Amino acid sequence: MRVLGIDPGLTRCGMGVVDGSVGRPLTLVDVNVLRTSAEVPVAHRLVTIEKGVDAWLDEFAPDAVAVERVFARSDVSTVMGTAQASGIAMVCAARRGLPIALHTPSEVKAAVSGNGRANKQQVGAMVTRILRLDAPPKPADAADALALAITHIWRGGAQARIDAAVAAARSRP
């Protein structure tokens, strides 16, 4: 399974692609951060993010997209930008009919480190170890995107099978 993990943000949007399956070593395909300038109007920044996400979807043809679920922080402007970037990422994936999963930050931290309250350095260190990298991906948004992809491979596939089984059971007379 190939998963594109997206750590949404209006200024920095982490993008990471991972190949693998449960019980097998995972492989880094690519990682980067889409950046937009705060000097540019928000609508134009969102277009830049859309074009970037579309380019990654075209180039890497993932089987699924995992996006960090937006959660309320004290800074409303940060939440708004994150939510807008998240919505753009989901629209890009939905246009292609790709499965989209939302994972909370604590779920991702727990999946990759065993601790739902792990800090950025701990997540980066575990992503480095899991993907057998020479150094942690920088900036943290890149490592977070890879952590999202890893979480989805490890947890999302199983959840998709459970959801399909429940749907099949409900449709039986």
Q: Tell me: the pLDDT tens digits for 1-40? A: 999 999 999 999 999 999 999 989 999 999 999 999 999 9
Per-domain residue ranges for the chain?
2-171
161 pLDDT higher than 90? no
Could you give the dihedral angle defined by the CA atoms of residues 154, 156, 161 and 162, in that order, rounded to the nearest 10 degrees? Answer: 100
Prediction pTM value = 0.90
63 labelled binding-site residue? no
Centroid of chain to Cα 44: 22
The mean per-residue pLDDT over the stretch 109-131 comes to: 96
Residue 1 half-sphere exposure toward CB, CA atoms < 13 A: 24
Residue 134 assigned to a binding site: no
Predicted confidence at residue 70, as pLDDT, reads 86
Annotated ligand binding at 141? The verdict is yes
Is 162's pLDDT higher than 80? no
Q: Catalytic positions, please?
A: 7, 68, 141
pLDDT at 133 (0 to 100): 97
Of 118, 111, 107, 110, the closest CA to residue 140 belongs to 118
Q: What percent of the chain has pLDDT over 70?
A: 91
Pick the CATH number of 2-171 from 3.30.390.50, 3.40.50.300, 3.40.710.10, 3.30.420.10: 3.30.420.10
